[in-house]
Chains A and B, each alone.
Chain A
Amino acid sequence: MTREGWTRLGLVAAGIAALEALCRTKVIKPLTLVPPSRMVHDLAGLLIAGDIFDDIGQTAIEVGGAFFLAIVLGVLMGAAIQATPRLRRAVAPVLASWYAVPSFVFYPLLVALFGLSTSPLIAIGVLSATPAMVVATIGGLDRVPRVLLRAARIHRLTAAQTLWLITLPSALPSLFTGLKLSFAYAFIGVIAGEFILSGGGIGYGIAYAYESFETPKMYALMLLVLIVAVGVNGALHAWEGRLLQRRQR
Protein backbone atom coordinates (compact mmCIF):
# COMPACT_ATOMS: atom_id res chain seq x y z
CA MET A 1 0.00 0.00 0.00
CA THR A 2 1.13 3.58 -0.62
CA ARG A 3 2.08 6.08 2.04
CA GLU A 4 -1.20 7.89 1.35
CA GLY A 5 -3.12 4.67 1.84
CA TRP A 6 -1.48 3.94 5.20
CA THR A 7 -2.09 7.51 6.31
CA ARG A 8 -5.75 7.19 5.41
CA LEU A 9 -6.01 3.93 7.30
CA GLY A 10 -4.28 5.51 10.28
CA LEU A 11 -6.60 8.52 10.23
CA VAL A 12 -9.70 6.34 10.10
CA ALA A 13 -8.37 4.10 12.89
CA ALA A 14 -7.49 7.13 15.02
CA GLY A 15 -10.93 8.62 14.42
CA ILE A 16 -12.67 5.43 15.46
CA ALA A 17 -10.42 5.07 18.52
CA ALA A 18 -11.12 8.67 19.55
CA LEU A 19 -14.85 8.13 19.15
CA GLU A 20 -14.61 4.93 21.15
CA ALA A 21 -12.75 6.71 23.96
CA LEU A 22 -15.20 9.64 24.04
CA CYS A 23 -18.14 7.26 24.23
CA ARG A 24 -16.56 4.99 26.84
CA THR A 25 -15.67 7.92 29.10
CA LYS A 26 -19.25 9.22 28.69
CA VAL A 27 -18.06 12.54 27.25
CA ILE A 28 -20.52 11.71 24.47
CA LYS A 29 -23.72 10.51 26.11
CA PRO A 30 -24.78 6.92 25.33
CA LEU A 31 -28.14 8.24 24.18
CA THR A 32 -26.43 10.35 21.51
CA LEU A 33 -23.94 7.86 20.20
CA VAL A 34 -23.00 4.32 21.07
CA PRO A 35 -19.31 3.33 20.93
CA PRO A 36 -18.14 2.04 17.52
CA SER A 37 -17.24 -1.36 19.03
CA ARG A 38 -20.82 -1.65 20.22
CA MET A 39 -22.11 -0.78 16.73
CA VAL A 40 -20.00 -3.54 15.21
CA HIS A 41 -21.14 -5.95 17.91
CA ASP A 42 -24.80 -5.04 17.41
CA LEU A 43 -24.53 -5.26 13.64
CA ALA A 44 -22.94 -8.70 13.93
CA GLY A 45 -25.76 -9.70 16.28
CA LEU A 46 -28.40 -8.51 13.82
CA LEU A 47 -26.73 -10.35 10.97
CA ILE A 48 -26.43 -13.57 12.97
CA ALA A 49 -30.05 -13.38 14.17
CA GLY A 50 -31.04 -12.87 10.56
CA ASP A 51 -34.11 -10.69 11.15
CA ILE A 52 -32.75 -7.89 8.95
CA PHE A 53 -32.17 -10.13 5.94
CA ASP A 54 -35.55 -9.19 4.48
CA ASP A 55 -34.71 -5.50 4.73
CA ILE A 56 -31.25 -6.06 3.27
CA GLY A 57 -32.71 -8.15 0.46
CA GLN A 58 -35.30 -5.53 -0.41
CA THR A 59 -32.76 -2.72 -0.46
CA ALA A 60 -30.34 -4.83 -2.50
CA ILE A 61 -33.01 -5.57 -5.11
CA GLU A 62 -34.03 -1.91 -5.29
CA VAL A 63 -30.50 -0.53 -5.48
CA GLY A 64 -29.34 -3.25 -7.86
CA GLY A 65 -32.36 -2.83 -10.13
CA ALA A 66 -32.06 0.96 -10.15
CA PHE A 67 -28.30 0.81 -10.80
CA PHE A 68 -28.72 -1.63 -13.67
CA LEU A 69 -31.57 0.31 -15.29
CA ALA A 70 -29.71 3.59 -14.84
CA ILE A 71 -26.67 2.18 -16.65
CA VAL A 72 -28.71 0.84 -19.57
CA LEU A 73 -30.91 3.94 -19.88
CA GLY A 74 -28.02 6.32 -19.26
CA VAL A 75 -25.77 4.80 -21.92
CA LEU A 76 -28.55 4.63 -24.51
CA MET A 77 -29.77 8.16 -23.84
CA GLY A 78 -26.24 9.52 -23.62
CA ALA A 79 -25.34 7.96 -26.98
CA ALA A 80 -28.49 9.34 -28.60
CA ILE A 81 -27.92 12.82 -27.19
CA GLN A 82 -24.24 12.85 -28.12
CA ALA A 83 -25.09 11.88 -31.70
CA THR A 84 -27.70 14.65 -32.10
CA PRO A 85 -26.23 18.13 -31.53
CA ARG A 86 -29.61 19.82 -31.59
CA LEU A 87 -31.10 17.46 -29.01
CA ARG A 88 -27.98 17.95 -26.95
CA ARG A 89 -28.30 21.72 -26.94
CA ALA A 90 -31.94 21.44 -25.97
CA VAL A 91 -31.50 18.99 -23.06
CA ALA A 92 -28.24 20.44 -21.72
CA PRO A 93 -30.06 22.75 -19.25
CA VAL A 94 -32.23 19.86 -18.06
CA LEU A 95 -29.18 17.68 -17.42
CA ALA A 96 -27.29 20.50 -15.73
CA SER A 97 -30.09 21.28 -13.30
CA TRP A 98 -31.22 17.72 -12.65
CA TYR A 99 -29.36 17.29 -9.40
CA ALA A 100 -30.89 20.58 -8.19
CA VAL A 101 -34.24 18.77 -8.05
CA PRO A 102 -34.83 16.70 -4.91
CA SER A 103 -36.09 13.63 -6.74
CA PHE A 104 -37.40 11.86 -3.63
CA VAL A 105 -40.22 14.42 -3.35
CA PHE A 106 -41.71 12.48 -6.25
CA TYR A 107 -42.00 9.40 -4.09
CA PRO A 108 -45.74 9.74 -3.29
CA LEU A 109 -46.42 10.30 -6.97
CA LEU A 110 -44.41 7.23 -7.89
CA VAL A 111 -46.34 5.17 -5.36
CA ALA A 112 -49.54 6.30 -7.06
CA LEU A 113 -48.08 5.36 -10.43
CA PHE A 114 -46.51 2.01 -9.58
CA GLY A 115 -48.37 0.92 -6.48
CA LEU A 116 -46.87 0.28 -3.08
CA SER A 117 -44.07 -2.15 -3.83
CA THR A 118 -40.39 -2.04 -4.60
CA SER A 119 -41.04 -0.44 -8.02
CA PRO A 120 -41.45 3.18 -6.87
CA LEU A 121 -38.19 2.92 -4.95
CA ILE A 122 -36.44 1.50 -8.00
CA ALA A 123 -37.96 4.39 -9.97
CA ILE A 124 -36.52 6.91 -7.48
CA GLY A 125 -33.13 5.25 -7.80
CA VAL A 126 -33.36 5.40 -11.59
CA LEU A 127 -34.43 9.06 -11.52
CA SER A 128 -31.47 9.93 -9.28
CA ALA A 129 -28.83 7.81 -10.99
CA THR A 130 -29.54 8.01 -14.72
CA PRO A 131 -28.43 11.62 -15.41
CA ALA A 132 -24.93 10.92 -14.06
CA MET A 133 -24.63 8.02 -16.50
CA VAL A 134 -26.00 10.14 -19.35
CA VAL A 135 -23.47 12.90 -18.66
CA ALA A 136 -20.63 10.38 -18.33
CA THR A 137 -21.59 8.68 -21.60
CA ILE A 138 -21.71 12.00 -23.46
CA GLY A 139 -18.35 12.98 -21.99
CA GLY A 140 -16.83 9.61 -22.82
CA LEU A 141 -18.03 9.69 -26.41
CA ASP A 142 -16.81 13.27 -26.80
CA ARG A 143 -13.37 12.16 -25.74
CA VAL A 144 -12.99 9.33 -28.26
CA PRO A 145 -10.01 10.61 -30.29
CA ARG A 146 -11.03 11.19 -33.91
CA VAL A 147 -7.78 9.70 -35.10
CA LEU A 148 -8.70 6.35 -33.53
CA LEU A 149 -12.00 6.35 -35.40
CA ARG A 150 -10.07 7.05 -38.59
CA ALA A 151 -7.73 4.18 -37.75
CA ALA A 152 -10.82 1.99 -37.32
CA ARG A 153 -11.94 2.87 -40.84
CA ILE A 154 -8.49 2.13 -42.23
CA HIS A 155 -8.76 -1.30 -40.58
CA ARG A 156 -12.14 -1.58 -42.27
CA LEU A 157 -13.98 -2.38 -39.05
CA THR A 158 -17.75 -2.73 -39.10
CA ALA A 159 -19.85 -0.31 -37.05
CA ALA A 160 -20.30 -2.92 -34.32
CA GLN A 161 -16.57 -3.71 -34.21
CA THR A 162 -15.73 -0.01 -34.03
CA LEU A 163 -18.12 0.42 -31.13
CA TRP A 164 -16.76 -2.58 -29.22
CA LEU A 165 -13.06 -2.30 -30.04
CA ILE A 166 -12.50 1.46 -30.29
CA THR A 167 -15.34 3.57 -28.91
CA LEU A 168 -16.01 1.60 -25.73
CA PRO A 169 -12.40 1.31 -24.54
CA SER A 170 -11.80 4.99 -25.37
CA ALA A 171 -14.82 6.08 -23.38
CA LEU A 172 -14.12 3.71 -20.51
CA PRO A 173 -12.46 6.14 -18.07
CA SER A 174 -15.41 8.50 -18.27
CA LEU A 175 -17.90 5.63 -18.11
CA PHE A 176 -16.31 4.45 -14.89
CA THR A 177 -16.80 7.86 -13.31
CA GLY A 178 -20.44 7.53 -14.35
CA LEU A 179 -20.69 4.05 -12.82
CA LYS A 180 -19.36 5.22 -9.47
CA LEU A 181 -21.64 8.26 -9.36
CA SER A 182 -24.65 6.28 -10.56
CA PHE A 183 -24.21 3.73 -7.84
CA ALA A 184 -23.89 6.44 -5.21
CA TYR A 185 -26.99 8.26 -6.45
CA ALA A 186 -29.05 5.07 -6.79
CA PHE A 187 -28.07 4.09 -3.26
CA ILE A 188 -28.77 7.55 -1.84
CA GLY A 189 -32.10 7.79 -3.69
CA VAL A 190 -33.34 4.37 -2.61
CA ILE A 191 -32.29 4.73 1.03
CA ALA A 192 -33.81 8.22 1.19
CA GLY A 193 -37.04 6.93 -0.37
CA GLU A 194 -37.22 4.06 2.10
CA PHE A 195 -36.49 6.44 4.90
CA ILE A 196 -39.30 8.82 4.03
CA LEU A 197 -42.14 6.45 3.23
CA SER A 198 -41.84 2.75 2.98
CA GLY A 199 -42.62 -0.46 4.79
CA GLY A 200 -39.30 -2.15 4.35
CA GLY A 201 -35.63 -1.86 3.49
CA ILE A 202 -32.62 -0.64 5.44
CA GLY A 203 -33.65 3.02 5.20
CA TYR A 204 -37.01 2.16 6.68
CA GLY A 205 -35.28 0.06 9.35
CA ILE A 206 -33.23 3.06 10.49
CA ALA A 207 -36.26 5.35 10.63
CA TYR A 208 -38.26 2.72 12.48
CA ALA A 209 -35.49 2.04 14.99
CA TYR A 210 -35.16 5.76 15.60
CA GLU A 211 -38.87 6.26 16.19
CA SER A 212 -39.08 3.27 18.52
CA PHE A 213 -35.99 4.41 20.48
CA GLU A 214 -33.95 1.34 19.51
CA THR A 215 -30.76 3.41 19.36
CA PRO A 216 -28.34 0.45 19.21
CA LYS A 217 -30.17 -1.09 16.25
CA MET A 218 -30.32 2.27 14.53
CA TYR A 219 -26.58 2.75 14.79
CA ALA A 220 -25.91 -0.81 13.71
CA LEU A 221 -27.95 -0.21 10.54
CA MET A 222 -26.29 3.16 9.93
CA LEU A 223 -22.95 1.40 10.16
CA LEU A 224 -24.18 -1.12 7.60
CA VAL A 225 -25.17 1.67 5.19
CA LEU A 226 -21.77 3.30 5.69
CA ILE A 227 -19.94 0.04 5.04
CA VAL A 228 -21.94 -0.71 1.90
CA ALA A 229 -21.54 2.82 0.48
CA VAL A 230 -17.80 2.99 1.14
CA GLY A 231 -17.27 -0.68 0.27
CA VAL A 232 -18.96 -0.62 -3.14
CA ASN A 233 -17.37 2.70 -3.98
CA GLY A 234 -13.98 1.30 -2.99
CA ALA A 235 -14.54 -1.88 -5.00
CA LEU A 236 -15.51 0.08 -8.13
CA HIS A 237 -12.51 2.32 -7.57
CA ALA A 238 -10.18 -0.68 -7.29
CA TRP A 239 -11.67 -2.31 -10.39
CA GLU A 240 -11.28 0.94 -12.28
CA GLY A 241 -7.68 1.19 -11.12
CA ARG A 242 -6.91 -2.31 -12.34
CA LEU A 243 -8.47 -1.73 -15.74
CA LEU A 244 -7.04 1.72 -16.36
CA GLN A 245 -3.73 1.43 -14.50
CA ARG A 246 -1.61 0.66 -17.55
CA ARG A 247 -3.05 3.54 -19.50
CA GLN A 248 -1.64 6.15 -17.19
CA ARG A 249 1.93 7.34 -16.65
Chain B
Amino acid sequence: MTRLFDSLAIVAGILLLWTGVFEYAGDSAITGPLQTFRFAANLLGRADFWQHAQATLSAFGYALAISAVAGIALGLILGLHRFSGDVAEPMLASLYTIPKVTLYPLMLLVFGLGVSAKVAFGVIHGMIPVILFTLSAVKNIPQVLLRTAKALHLTPMQTATHLLAPAVLPEIISGLRIGFALTFLGVLIGEMFASQRGLGFLIINGINSHDVKRTTAVILIVITASVAANGALLALDRRAHH
Protein backbone atom coordinates (compact mmCIF):
# COMPACT_ATOMS: atom_id res chain seq x y z
CA MET B 1 0.00 0.00 0.00
CA THR B 2 2.75 2.44 0.98
CA ARG B 3 4.67 1.18 -2.04
CA LEU B 4 1.85 2.14 -4.39
CA PHE B 5 1.55 5.47 -2.63
CA ASP B 6 5.28 6.13 -3.02
CA SER B 7 5.22 5.24 -6.70
CA LEU B 8 2.30 7.57 -7.24
CA ALA B 9 4.15 10.26 -5.29
CA ILE B 10 7.13 9.91 -7.62
CA VAL B 11 4.91 10.18 -10.70
CA ALA B 12 3.14 13.17 -9.14
CA GLY B 13 6.52 14.75 -8.39
CA ILE B 14 7.62 14.35 -12.00
CA LEU B 15 4.36 15.87 -13.28
CA LEU B 16 4.68 18.73 -10.80
CA LEU B 17 8.25 19.43 -11.89
CA TRP B 18 7.13 19.30 -15.51
CA THR B 19 4.30 21.77 -14.83
CA GLY B 20 6.69 24.03 -12.95
CA VAL B 21 9.17 24.03 -15.83
CA PHE B 22 6.32 24.72 -18.24
CA GLU B 23 5.05 27.64 -16.14
CA TYR B 24 8.55 29.06 -15.92
CA ALA B 25 9.81 28.53 -19.46
CA GLY B 26 6.56 28.97 -21.35
CA ASP B 27 5.27 27.21 -24.43
CA SER B 28 8.17 28.26 -26.61
CA ALA B 29 10.25 25.59 -24.81
CA ILE B 30 7.90 22.85 -23.67
CA THR B 31 4.20 22.06 -23.55
CA GLY B 32 2.37 21.26 -20.33
CA PRO B 33 1.61 17.66 -19.29
CA LEU B 34 -2.07 17.62 -20.21
CA GLN B 35 -1.56 19.20 -23.61
CA THR B 36 1.37 16.86 -24.31
CA PHE B 37 -0.61 13.76 -23.40
CA ARG B 38 -3.42 14.89 -25.65
CA PHE B 39 -1.09 15.56 -28.55
CA ALA B 40 0.81 12.32 -27.99
CA ALA B 41 -2.46 10.39 -28.11
CA ASN B 42 -3.29 12.22 -31.30
CA LEU B 43 0.12 11.33 -32.76
CA LEU B 44 -0.33 7.68 -31.83
CA GLY B 45 -3.48 7.61 -33.92
CA ARG B 46 -1.77 8.87 -37.06
CA ALA B 47 -0.34 6.67 -39.81
CA ASP B 48 2.66 8.90 -40.61
CA PHE B 49 3.79 8.72 -37.00
CA TRP B 50 3.72 4.94 -37.17
CA GLN B 51 5.81 4.97 -40.33
CA HIS B 52 8.49 6.82 -38.41
CA ALA B 53 8.06 4.55 -35.41
CA GLN B 54 8.39 1.51 -37.61
CA ALA B 55 11.55 2.86 -39.22
CA THR B 56 13.04 3.29 -35.74
CA LEU B 57 11.89 -0.12 -34.55
CA SER B 58 13.24 -2.02 -37.54
CA ALA B 59 16.63 -0.30 -37.31
CA PHE B 60 16.58 -0.97 -33.57
CA GLY B 61 15.72 -4.63 -34.23
CA TYR B 62 18.74 -5.12 -36.47
CA ALA B 63 21.04 -3.20 -34.16
CA LEU B 64 19.88 -5.08 -31.08
CA ALA B 65 20.31 -8.45 -32.81
CA ILE B 66 23.88 -7.54 -33.77
CA SER B 67 24.70 -6.05 -30.35
CA ALA B 68 23.32 -9.09 -28.55
CA VAL B 69 24.68 -11.90 -30.71
CA ALA B 70 28.09 -10.39 -31.42
CA GLY B 71 28.33 -8.95 -27.91
CA ILE B 72 27.63 -12.25 -26.18
CA ALA B 73 29.89 -14.17 -28.58
CA LEU B 74 32.80 -11.78 -28.06
CA GLY B 75 32.16 -11.70 -24.32
CA LEU B 76 32.24 -15.51 -24.15
CA ILE B 77 35.46 -15.73 -26.14
CA LEU B 78 37.20 -13.02 -24.12
CA GLY B 79 35.88 -14.47 -20.87
CA LEU B 80 37.07 -17.99 -21.62
CA HIS B 81 40.47 -16.92 -22.89
CA ARG B 82 41.83 -15.26 -19.79
CA PHE B 83 44.71 -13.39 -21.39
CA SER B 84 42.65 -11.90 -24.22
CA GLY B 85 40.06 -10.85 -21.68
CA ASP B 86 42.63 -9.11 -19.48
CA VAL B 87 44.02 -7.33 -22.53
CA ALA B 88 40.63 -6.33 -23.92
CA GLU B 89 38.69 -5.31 -20.81
CA PRO B 90 40.36 -1.91 -20.14
CA MET B 91 40.34 -1.14 -23.87
CA LEU B 92 36.61 -1.76 -24.05
CA ALA B 93 36.04 0.30 -20.91
CA SER B 94 37.95 3.18 -22.53
CA LEU B 95 35.96 2.87 -25.75
CA TYR B 96 32.80 3.02 -23.66
CA THR B 97 33.80 6.48 -22.34
CA ILE B 98 34.27 8.04 -25.80
CA PRO B 99 31.50 10.43 -26.83
CA LYS B 100 30.32 8.39 -29.76
CA VAL B 101 28.26 11.20 -31.26
CA THR B 102 31.47 12.68 -32.57
CA LEU B 103 31.96 9.54 -34.65
CA TYR B 104 28.82 10.31 -36.63
CA PRO B 105 30.57 12.00 -39.57
CA LEU B 106 32.77 8.93 -39.89
CA MET B 107 29.73 6.65 -39.74
CA LEU B 108 28.04 8.69 -42.45
CA LEU B 109 31.12 8.57 -44.64
CA VAL B 110 31.41 4.81 -44.22
CA PHE B 111 27.74 3.80 -44.33
CA GLY B 112 26.03 6.68 -46.10
CA LEU B 113 22.66 8.10 -45.15
CA GLY B 114 20.07 5.51 -44.25
CA VAL B 115 19.33 2.39 -42.26
CA SER B 116 22.86 0.98 -42.08
CA ALA B 117 24.26 4.14 -40.46
CA LYS B 118 21.47 4.06 -37.87
CA VAL B 119 22.11 0.38 -37.17
CA ALA B 120 25.85 1.03 -36.90
CA PHE B 121 25.17 3.83 -34.45
CA GLY B 122 22.99 1.55 -32.34
CA VAL B 123 25.63 -1.17 -32.37
CA ILE B 124 28.55 1.03 -31.32
CA HIS B 125 26.50 2.29 -28.40
CA GLY B 126 24.96 -0.98 -27.28
CA MET B 127 27.49 -3.71 -27.91
CA ILE B 128 30.24 -2.78 -25.45
CA PRO B 129 28.17 -3.21 -22.27
CA VAL B 130 26.96 -6.60 -23.50
CA ILE B 131 30.56 -7.70 -24.09
CA LEU B 132 31.74 -6.38 -20.72
CA PHE B 133 28.94 -8.01 -18.71
CA THR B 134 29.31 -11.36 -20.49
CA LEU B 135 33.07 -11.25 -20.07
CA SER B 136 32.89 -10.66 -16.33
CA ALA B 137 30.15 -13.27 -15.92
CA VAL B 138 32.31 -15.95 -17.56
CA LYS B 139 35.44 -14.83 -15.74
CA ASN B 140 33.71 -15.06 -12.38
CA ILE B 141 32.33 -18.57 -12.77
CA PRO B 142 33.29 -20.29 -9.50
CA GLN B 143 36.05 -22.84 -10.06
CA VAL B 144 34.21 -25.26 -7.78
CA LEU B 145 31.43 -25.54 -10.40
CA LEU B 146 33.92 -26.79 -12.98
CA ARG B 147 35.39 -29.24 -10.48
CA THR B 148 31.88 -30.44 -9.65
CA ALA B 149 31.29 -31.01 -13.36
CA LYS B 150 34.40 -33.18 -13.51
CA ALA B 151 33.43 -35.07 -10.38
CA LEU B 152 30.01 -35.79 -11.89
CA HIS B 153 31.64 -36.94 -15.18
CA LEU B 154 29.64 -34.45 -17.24
CA THR B 155 30.43 -34.14 -20.94
CA PRO B 156 31.60 -30.71 -22.12
CA MET B 157 28.16 -30.20 -23.67
CA GLN B 158 26.38 -31.07 -20.43
CA THR B 159 28.77 -28.82 -18.51
CA ALA B 160 27.97 -25.96 -20.84
CA THR B 161 24.20 -26.35 -20.81
CA HIS B 162 23.61 -27.44 -17.21
CA LEU B 163 26.33 -25.62 -15.28
CA LEU B 164 27.87 -22.76 -17.21
CA ALA B 165 24.77 -21.37 -18.90
CA PRO B 166 22.76 -21.03 -15.67
CA ALA B 167 25.81 -19.56 -13.93
CA VAL B 168 26.38 -16.77 -16.46
CA LEU B 169 22.79 -16.13 -17.57
CA PRO B 170 21.79 -13.59 -14.90
CA GLU B 171 24.76 -11.33 -15.63
CA ILE B 172 24.21 -11.64 -19.38
CA ILE B 173 20.61 -10.56 -18.89
CA SER B 174 21.84 -7.50 -16.97
CA GLY B 175 24.20 -6.71 -19.83
CA LEU B 176 21.41 -7.13 -22.38
CA ARG B 177 19.18 -4.79 -20.39
CA ILE B 178 21.77 -2.04 -20.54
CA GLY B 179 22.67 -2.92 -24.11
CA PHE B 180 18.98 -2.70 -25.02
CA ALA B 181 18.64 0.85 -23.67
CA LEU B 182 21.91 2.07 -25.16
CA THR B 183 21.24 0.51 -28.55
CA PHE B 184 17.91 2.33 -28.62
CA LEU B 185 19.69 5.54 -27.65
CA GLY B 186 22.28 5.00 -30.38
CA VAL B 187 19.63 4.40 -33.03
CA LEU B 188 17.82 7.57 -31.99
CA ILE B 189 21.05 9.58 -32.19
CA GLY B 190 21.75 8.06 -35.57
CA GLU B 191 18.33 9.12 -36.78
CA MET B 192 18.86 12.62 -35.50
CA PHE B 193 21.77 13.14 -37.86
CA ALA B 194 21.89 10.41 -40.42
CA SER B 195 18.34 9.92 -41.51
CA GLN B 196 15.19 11.49 -42.82
CA ARG B 197 12.97 8.99 -41.04
CA GLY B 198 12.38 7.66 -37.56
CA LEU B 199 11.56 9.09 -34.16
CA GLY B 200 15.00 10.61 -33.73
CA PHE B 201 14.45 12.50 -36.97
CA LEU B 202 11.06 13.70 -35.71
CA ILE B 203 12.72 15.05 -32.58
CA ILE B 204 15.57 16.89 -34.31
CA ASN B 205 13.24 18.13 -37.00
CA GLY B 206 10.87 19.44 -34.35
CA ILE B 207 13.75 21.15 -32.55
CA ASN B 208 15.01 22.78 -35.73
CA SER B 209 11.58 23.96 -36.85
CA HIS B 210 10.58 25.05 -33.32
CA ASP B 211 7.58 22.71 -33.36
CA VAL B 212 7.54 22.47 -29.56
CA LYS B 213 4.23 20.64 -29.40
CA ARG B 214 5.36 17.78 -31.58
CA THR B 215 8.88 17.58 -30.12
CA THR B 216 7.61 17.34 -26.55
CA ALA B 217 5.03 14.71 -27.50
CA VAL B 218 7.57 12.55 -29.38
CA ILE B 219 10.06 12.84 -26.54
CA LEU B 220 7.33 11.77 -24.12
CA ILE B 221 6.48 8.75 -26.25
CA VAL B 222 10.13 7.76 -26.67
CA ILE B 223 10.92 8.09 -22.96
CA THR B 224 7.76 6.22 -21.95
CA ALA B 225 8.54 3.36 -24.33
CA SER B 226 12.16 3.19 -23.24
CA VAL B 227 11.37 3.29 -19.53
CA ALA B 228 8.60 0.69 -19.92
CA ALA B 229 10.85 -1.70 -21.84
CA ASN B 230 13.57 -1.16 -19.29
CA GLY B 231 11.11 -1.89 -16.49
CA ALA B 232 10.08 -5.17 -18.11
CA LEU B 233 13.71 -6.19 -18.58
CA LEU B 234 14.48 -5.14 -15.02
CA ALA B 235 11.76 -7.47 -13.75
CA LEU B 236 13.24 -10.30 -15.84
CA ASP B 237 16.69 -9.38 -14.54
CA ARG B 238 15.52 -9.56 -10.91
CA ARG B 239 13.94 -12.97 -11.46
CA ALA B 240 17.09 -14.31 -13.10
CA HIS B 241 19.21 -13.12 -10.19
CA HIS B 242 17.29 -15.11 -7.58
List A residues at the B interface (Cβ < 8 Å): 3-4, 7-8, 11-12, 31-33, 86, 89-91, 93-94, 96-97, 99-102, 105-109, 111-113, 180, 183-184, 187-188, 191-192, 195-197, 203, 206, 210, 218, 221-222, 225-226, 229-230, 233-234, 237
A90 and B9 contacting across the interface, CB-CB below 8 Å: yes
A230 and B21 contacting across the interface, CB-CB below 8 Å: no
**Cα of A7 to Cα of B89 in the assembled complex, Å:** 12
CB-nearest residue of chain B to A91: B10
**Cα of A221 to Cα of B102 in the assembled complex, Å:** 9
| B-side contacts of A226, CB under 8 Å | 98
| A-side contacts of B188, CB under 8 Å | 102
| B-side contacts of A86, CB under 8 Å | 2, 6
Classify the interface of chain B: helix, strand, loop or mixed.
helix
Q: Does B143 contact A (CB under 8 A)?
A: no
A89 and B6 contacting across the interface, CB-CB below 8 Å: yes
Report the minimal beta-carbon distance from A197 to chain B, rounded to whole angstroms: 7
| A-side contacts of B6, CB under 8 Å | 86, 89-90
B100 and A188 contacting across the interface, CB-CB below 8 Å: yes
Q: Give the tally of cross-chain contacts (CB within 8 A).
A: 134
Can you give 25 A-B contacts (C-beta < 8 A)? A7-B87, A8-B87, A32-B110, A86-B2, A90-B7, A94-B10, A97-B231, A97-B234, A99-B185, A100-B181, A100-B184, A106-B219, A108-B207, A113-B29, A188-B97, A188-B100, A195-B101, A196-B204, A197-B207, A222-B103, A229-B98, A229-B99, A230-B94, A233-B93, A237-B90
Residue from the set A96, A107, A108 with the largest chain B CB neighbour count within 10 Å: A108
